[in-house]
Amino acid sequence: MLHIKSLDEGLAIFKALGSDIRVEVIKLLLKNQNMNMNELATKLNITNGALTSHIKKLEDCGIISISNESTGHGNQKICAVHLDKILIELDTESTLNNVFETSIQVGHYSDYLIYPTCGLASTSAIIGQVDDPRYFAHPNRYDASILWLTHGYVEYDIPNFIPASQKIDQITISVELSSEAPGSNNIWPSDIYFHLNNTCIGTWTSPGDFGDTKGIFNPDWWFSNWNQYGLLKLLVINRNGTFIDGLKISDVSILDFNFDYKSTIRLKFEVPETARHVGGLTIFGKSFGNYNQDINVRIDYSPML
């Protein structure tokens, strides 16, 4: 999922979608899962040269992904739709005035319980050794931009710097997640639980640990047979309940916590050993995966009465 927070931020996407040919490319790819350039050009009745510019615009804004496939006649470029959803926020300026935004680096967890397979890495190297939970206490873990575990949890302290005498009305969390399979496996379901201050606010089942194409932002040294990217999930808790990508996942609401400007807020991602699908958890941060972001948090607040 791509989360666009303003109209200006989404300008490249809007331009890419402002073409009948490019929309038809997306429709063909959705129908056929993936197609090579020759097949697309034939279906659209245009030349390969004309198609290339359209494909580049769709690839540059992340709507489609391109992979190379070797055949008896050389390499073919295979095209596939990369995004499953596009979420656009249309906030008024007055609403944005009562918002505190922050981000949390993947390695800045405050508590953890880890079972292998597991590991963490910075943009330059693996931190310690893989499949050894001891290295989650390594001093270099603060540099981690990706981490993974089979079951257990990581917990983060959410910075709360809203102004004095304000209460919290909504918390929005944007994070790229996937399962954790040995190597990678696109069909590897995992039940990921979300907690605030040790209260479970909902679950989401990750469909897999994706390794079919290279993550857009992965460093060059990252192993091609390991997890490559996740899905961008938008977790929202407000007075109406808790939501993932706009779909309600529980009745737990922000009112159950009485959060205000003095509150400590702890966010936990967990795959319990008792879950139906114990398929692990991977958290992607900046310079890994497809979205080049850390764990982004937005807090909407208003005056206490």
Which domains does the chain carry?
Answer: 2-81 (1.10.10.10), 91-303 (2.60.120.260)
Tokens 């001891």 belong to residue: 134
Query: What is the rounded CA–CA span in Å between residue 301 and residue 293?
Result: 23
**Number of C-beta neighbours around residue 90 at 10 A:** 9
Which tokens sit at 260?
């205000």
Please check the confidence at residue 3 and state whether its pLDDT lies above 80: no
Please tell me the pTM assigned to this model. Answer: 0.75
Which residues are paired to 64 by β-bridges? 81
Q: Is 137 exposed, middle or buried (0-12, 13-18, 19+ CB in 10 A)?
A: exposed
Q: Which of 143, 120, 144, 137 is nearest to 227 (CA)?
A: 120
Residue 76 — very low, low, confident or very high, per pLDDT cuts 50/70/90? confident
The dihedral sign for the CA sequence 253, 254, 257, 258 = negative
Query: What is the rounded CA–CA span in Å between residue 197 and residue 267?
Result: 7
Q: Average pLDDT for residues 85-102, to the nearest whole number?
A: 72
Residue 73 — very low, low, confident or very high, per pLDDT cuts 50/70/90? low
**Number of C-beta neighbours around residue 15 at 10 A:** 12
Average pLDDT, the chain: 92
Q: Average pLDDT for residues 56-83, to the nearest whole number?
A: 82
pLDDT for the residue 92: 47
Report the relative pairing of strands 111-115 and 119-121 from DSSP bridges. unpaired
Tokens 């390794």 belong to residue: 211
